[in-house]
Structure 1
Amino acid sequence: MKFLISLLFINFSFSQEITLKGNITDNQNRGIQSASVSVLDENEDILGYSFTNENGEYLISFDKPTNNTIIVEVACLGFQKASKKIDNNTNSTFNFQLEDKIENLQEVVVESGKKIRIEQDTTSIKVASFGNKTEQTVEDILKKLPGIEVLKDGTIKAHGKAIDKLLIEGEDMFDKNYKLLSKNLNAKVLDEVQILDNFEDNPIFKKLNNSDKVALNLKLKKGLQNVWFGNVTLGSGIVSENRWRESLNLGLLKKKIKFFYFGDYNNLGEKATDLINSNVIDRNSFGNDRFEYKAKSLYTISNNEIQFFSKSQSVFNKAFLNSLSFNSKFRKNLSLRGVIYLANDNQNQNSFAETNYNLESNPVSFTESNFYNNKKTLASTELELKYTPNDKNYITNLFILKNNPNKTANNLLFNSDQINQHSKTNNYTFYNHFNHTYQVSENKVLNNYFYIGNDKINEKSRIESPYLNSFLNVNTSEIVTQQANNKLFYIGNKSKLITKLKKLDITNSFQFEFNNEKFENDFIAENQNIPTYENNSELRQFSIVQDNTFRYNFSKKIDITANVNFQNTMFNNNNSETNIFYINPSLYFNIKKTGFGNFTVSYSENNSLPEINQLTTNFQLTDYRSFLIGTNYQKPLNTATTSFNYYFYNDEKRYSINTSLFYINSKSILNTSSNLTDDFNFNSYIQTKGSESYNFNFAIVNYIRKIKLASKIETNNSWTTIPLNVNSTEFETSKGFTNNIKYSGTTYFKLPINFDFGYSYNYFQSDFQGIKTENITKDAFLNANYKISKTILAESNNSLYFVNNQSYFFSNLVFSYTPKESRFSYRFLFNNILNENEYTYISINNYAYYKSSIQLVPRYLLGTVTFRF
């Protein structure tokens, strides 16, 4: 509570602004609603504006200008415009009385506001037409809008593509960490969402009109410009479990600065650190590239978290989030964007698991009772400077600094023996991206991208295990310690020349990159190092890459794109140097923006090199009962992908089809050969022929106007063939098939009651060593919202899961009360009414039988009060 109240007062205390207020009336002294009130300086630049309320009252706050005089202008349809010149030194009250404006109209056309408008590459969607007032965040609204899809991890797709940016009032505030915005901004401030096709934020690249990216722009309700706005929410458990939520949203949108603060503290199962991207890899032939590499951690302690349920049903976590973002324009051609955030999760998860490896005549069985605790913190500063010195140059510099400490403990019973694990990890990261884009001529653009990065992981793990001590022949009371350090440094430059001819787009780029990674781990027992399980590796790579892309546009709707990537790498692994040359080709044929949809057929090959953790010379401990050893470099790893994609969107009719077919042939991979015993797993990397897989996905969305129903049918299928080697001298083939079918619907009745509902069927089958197994799960949900009155809304959220002949039913009730003409609103959440307290999951695939039981979040009643300002 203290940090919320303190921050609120701090932000207001530093505000250096002038505030004007007053009444706008007609000649009969009646208040005029929706009159626009603008404040201008002597150069007639707008300092701020607002609209009058239903009583004709207005309030405007704006930065104090340098000149002594400002102008207040008032305008409204049907009235004469009025203005006054005033002194800018003090806060004042100014009233206006407007005279009627009489005009002779030849013709009057009245057109109701459209729910969806399409203007060239921009699709604007009014959110009020698709919500039902149960939405709490922007993400809740986006899930219901045509043409937009929100994936389970919060990633947003629009018109079939992952979005590049989530803008707010045309400004980028969060870059790739847009989930901080979509999962925290209050849905009630949102007026419109715009889908921006062919989006490009680089003004020099934009002149060539080569982009195929997509972005979203959030338009806020009128009256939120030049004033502080937001909300404070306080919530506490009323009955049974001690649950709470405290949050603060704070925003300011002005001409020269935009500011957002999000603060949240809760123990409702959500995870704050999940909102942050770990690293970004972007390769764009006709736009900006971005390379951020991560060092590899070594030791893993599993949380046994179930992905099947929502986090509020199955995750025990205390989440804390502080996020401050701003975008400031010093001048028209110079701006600074910044994001500072601190996220912390403290998770406690208890579970029981039973595992059986059915390996012909040598079965392996064991049980695990886990008591897991994890404390994870992620703090970061991100600063981006954008400078446009003239119409031919554009310069950006993005700097990112991160600190990510992590503490994990797991006290478990392995069969009947006590095993304790503790791991402490410190992770320090910085990235810097410098881009200079220069327009050489009307049809040529040169981009120089310089990047540098450093990622460092220090990890210390302590294991108390009688099995491990017995295996190492040390005293049973001894604690085994493993210390690992991984340091990754890289630096590179990529120069790219883009040429646009009549029907041909050409990109030629030249890139060099130096990459140096050091990996070492010490294995200590009885205060002595055990060299057999220690590694000291260094991998240096110097790569020269030449990349060529050609796109021939037969017309505005048909093009073919070919790319050839040549790469030569000096690969130095522990002073053993190899010169490696390979080619990565790709070919795309596109038919787009036609009346019958968009088609893409493609083929690509990807050659890559093994990573440092795959080249270790000795075994290393990766969890309390697993060892892993690397291999020697032989040849590049190779995967070929053939794909067909088709999508069709008609946002106005809320109709879309999206389908894809992929064939992936991993010709050469690093596979693992596993030797399983009752107590340990020993895994070795071996380069082999890889897997083959076919993937087919299909989704159709349709809106039936007669019954006011929007529905979605989707199916995802995959067929895989994987070589496995488990307790054998050779690899054997394992075949798998998965099928997922989903149906969901939303009603838009002009009644007090409406529904969201859906059903999902999930099937998995495997065939290994002549043994066929299958696994089936099903789930359904039904959410109803009922408008009891204009101020009271009731929601019933129900989920039913069928897993291995067992059923789980979750039911929640929500009551929302929003008094008229009040800034306060109240909400009561009754979670897990039937008190489902344990979930048992059984997985049978390939050669393993796995059964897991985990505690579920017990029922509780949470009451919250929200104040909007």
Structure 2
Amino acid sequence: MIRIKTIIIGIACGLPLHLFCQSISGTIAGSNGTALPVANVVIRDTGSAGAIKEFVLARDGLYSIKLTRSYSNVVLEATANGYQKGSFSIEKLEAGKHYEWDFILNKISPVDLKEVVVKAKQRPFTIAKDTVTYNVAAYRDGSERKVQDVLKNMPGIDVNSKTGEIKYKGKQVETVKLDGEDLFADNYAIGTKNINVDMVEQVQAIENYSANPLLKGIEGGEKVALNLVLKKRKTAYNGDAEIGTGMLGKKLALDLSGNLIGIAKTMKSYATASYNNVGSNNSIFDYFSYNPGVQQIREEEFLAKKYIPDLYFDSDVDSRRMNINRERSASYHAVFKVFKKINVKTANYFVGDHIRAFQSDRTINRFNNQSFSTADFYSYSKQPWQLRSDLELKSSLTKKSLLEYVLQVRKES
């Protein structure tokens, strides 16, 4: 009895595989009739939301698939690389029947894509080893005229507007280079106060700086420097001029300035000239109030003291509100590559001024219902001028030797 049941069950299980067996075969060719070497054929069951149920790989234009289960409605899809997809629907599949379908696939037509331009917002700064590079455009709000103005907006950089002294992360900046050349040395304020900000693309803050390449990595590494990266232009020379005018009472007020930058293969130079009678100081030398620049502070111990000290003015208000001047200033800086291993750097300055300052004080005193007043009036005047020329010669005899010659000539009153 047990053996009979086993036979009946085996026969019942085998009936579907024989009665419901379905198969599909055919060819796959291109529109020119050529058989496609490789193609894919998938079977989608429309009763299961078009899910892929079976697939076969067609080779040399032939495919054949024996379905593993019974379906009512199916969709055949044939795809090949570089050809459009082909499809065919079979509805109400009959059990045990064989179906044939030949696919003709058309080539995909090439499509010309239009140019796509992706614009990303420029990062305000980047960091590479010991150098931070600031993109000037990211720190401008439209009010900046000179390099000194935009430096004040950059994080980590502090600028003393009166002396031009710059600090980076609390450390005094040794120099401000121009496209990698140290034109200004300690007198970098002449550049940052006068170079138009529109000429500069980037500002690089360099830590572990050393003016002497032989001492790089040997010195303490506490020195810092800035480098102004200029915008690339077609011409080797570029500059700008500014004219400001108005009325100062009955007097014509003028503020004129101009500068020129020259860059060539063996030479880099910077020249500036200015005139004003509105109380501004466009030079690196301060004759109005005692706010010495970086180099003036360093030279104090090397220069002889003046027998008659200079007269400086002091006031609780801004110097421009009490200073009546007539300043003329000019400077020229250049670096020349004379030979492969010899560089010559020159810096020349002229400043002349006629400074006048007026100050009046009035004091009212009251005592026992009585009052009296005192008045003081002060008038100051001086006409300083200075003519100075610096010359520096550097010679790199070998990779481990460097000779420097420095000459300075100056006349001052």
Task: Give the distance between the partners of 1:400 and 1:259, measured in 2 at CA.
Answer: 19
Match in the other structure for 2:169: 159
The alpha-carbon distance between structure 1 residues 182 and 236, as it changes in their structure 2 partners (threshold 3 A), is same
- Read off the aligned partner of 2:167 and give its amino acid letter: K
Match in the other structure for 1:338: 346
Deviations 1:458-483 (A, max 9, x none): xxxxxxxxxxxxxxxxxxxxxxxxxx
2:127 matches 1:118: yes
The alpha-carbon distance between structure 1 residues 189 and 248, as it changes in their structure 2 partners (threshold 3 A), is same
- Read off the aligned partner of 2:259 and give its amino acid letter: N
Is residue 180–residue 275 contact of structure 1 (8 Å, CA) maintained in 2? no
Is residue 243–residue 256 contact of structure 2 (8 Å, CA) maintained in 1? yes
2:244 corresponds to which of 231, 235, 241: 235
2:156 matches 1:147: yes
2:222 matches 1:244: no
Deviations 1:307-333 (A, max 9, x none): x44333332111111111101112332
Q: How many residues align?
A: 281
SS in 1 for 2:353: strand
- Aligned-residue Cα RMSD (Å) equals 2.9
Task: Give the distance between the partners of 1:278 and 1:401, measured in 2 at CA.
Answer: 19
1:577-616 matches, cutoff 5 A: none
2:138 matches 1:138: no
- Give me the TM-score of the superposition, normalised by structure 2: 0.62
Shift of residue 182 of structure 1? Answer: 0.8
Shift of residue 232 of structure 1? Answer: 2.2
- Read off the aligned partner of 1:123 and give its amino acid letter: V
2:346 matches 1:311: no
Deviations 1:178-227 (A, max 9, x none): 11111111111111111000001211111536421000000111216x52
- Give me the TM-score of the superposition, normalised by structure 1: 0.31
Is residue 333–residue 387 contact of structure 1 (8 Å, CA) maintained in 2? yes
1:323 corresponds to which of 322, 327, 331: 331
SS in 2 for 1:255: coil
Shift of residue 129 of structure 1? Answer: 0.8
Task: Give the distance between the partners of 1:203 and 1:335, measured in 2 at CA.
Answer: 14
1:392 corresponds to which of 400, 404, 409: 400
Shift of residue 297 of structure 1? Answer: 2.6
Match in the other structure for 2:64: none
- Read off the aligned partner of 1:387 and give its amino acid letter: S
Match in the other structure for 1:504: none
Shift of residue 347 of structure 1? Answer: 0.9
SS in 2 for 1:141: helix
Match in the other structure for 2:63: none
Structure showing greater relative contact order (alpha-carbon pairs closer than 8 Å, 6 or more residues apart): 2
Shift of residue 248 of structure 1? Answer: 1.7
Task: Give the distance between the partners of 2:145 and 2:309, measured in 1 at CA.
Answer: 35
Match in the other structure for 1:193: 203
The alpha-carbon distance between structure 1 residues 316 and 188, as it changes in their structure 2 partners (threshold 3 A), is same
Task: Give the distance between the partners of 1:119 and 1:174, measured in 2 at CA.
Answer: 25
1:168 corresponds to which of 153, 171, 178: 178
2:386 matches 1:371: no
2:409 matches 1:401: yes
Task: Give the distance between the partners of 2:119 and 2:375, measured in 1 at CA.
Answer: 72
Match in the other structure for 2:356: 348
- Read off the aligned partner of 1:247 and give its amino acid letter: S
Deviations 1:587-609 (A, max 9, x none): xxxxxxxxxxxxxxxxxxxxxxx
* Structure 2: gaps (5+ residues): 1-116, 287-292, 364-372
- Read off the aligned partner of 1:185 and give its amino acid letter: I
Match in the other structure for 1:67: none
2:302 matches 1:293: yes
Shift of residue 109 of structure 1? Answer: 9.9
Structure having the higher helix fraction is 2
- Read off the aligned partner of 2:335 and give its amino acid letter: N
Match in the other structure for 2:10: none
Deviations 1:219-278 (A, max 9, x none): 111216x52100122333258441012222111112210011100011111124554758
Deviations 1:804-838 (A, max 9, x none): xxxxxxxxxxxxxxxxxxxxxxxxxxxxxxxxxxx
Task: Give the distance between the partners of 2:189 and 2:174, measured in 1 at CA.
Answer: 12
What percent identity do the matched residue pairs reach? 27
Larger radius of gyration: 2
Is residue 320–residue 344 contact of structure 1 (8 Å, CA) maintained in 2? yes
1:127 corresponds to which of 136, 139, 142: 136
Task: Give the distance between the partners of 1:272 and 1:179, measured in 2 at CA.
Answer: 9
Is residue 273–residue 378 contact of structure 1 (8 Å, CA) maintained in 2? no
Match in the other structure for 2:69: none
Is residue 381–residue 401 contact of structure 1 (8 Å, CA) maintained in 2? yes
The alpha-carbon distance between structure 1 residues 132 and 166, as it changes in their structure 2 partners (threshold 3 A), is same
Match in the other structure for 1:43: none
- Read off the aligned partner of 1:231 and give its amino acid letter: D
Match in the other structure for 2:280: 270
1:216 corresponds to which of 196, 212, 226: 226
1:485-524 matches, cutoff 5 A: none
Is residue 337–residue 343 contact of structure 2 (8 Å, CA) maintained in 1? yes
The alpha-carbon distance between structure 1 residues 186 and 171, as it changes in their structure 2 partners (threshold 3 A), is same
1:525-540 matches, cutoff 5 A: none
The alpha-carbon distance between structure 1 residues 377 and 143, as it changes in their structure 2 partners (threshold 3 A), is same
2:270 corresponds to which of 255, 260, 283: 260
* Structure 1: gaps (5+ residues): 1-107, 283-289, 356-364, 406-869
Deviations 1:682-709 (A, max 9, x none): xxxxxxxxxxxxxxxxxxxxxxxxxxxx
The alpha-carbon distance between structure 1 residues 292 and 392, as it changes in their structure 2 partners (threshold 3 A), is farther
Structure having the higher strand fraction is 1
The alpha-carbon distance between structure 1 residues 369 and 310, as it changes in their structure 2 partners (threshold 3 A), is closer
Task: Give the distance between the partners of 1:122 and 1:195, measured in 2 at CA.
Answer: 6
- Read off the aligned partner of 2:351 and give its amino acid letter: A
1:434-445 matches, cutoff 5 A: none
Task: Give the distance between the partners of 2:295 and 2:178, measured in 1 at CA.
Answer: 23
Identify the range of structure 1 (168-177 vs 245-254) with the bigger mean alpha-carbon deviation: 245-254
Task: Give the distance between the partners of 2:258 and 2:322, measured in 1 at CA.
Answer: 25
- Read off the aligned partner of 1:256 and give its amino acid letter: T
Is residue 272–residue 345 contact of structure 1 (8 Å, CA) maintained in 2? no
Match in the other structure for 1:430: none
Task: Give the distance between the partners of 1:317 and 1:281, measured in 2 at CA.
Answer: 24
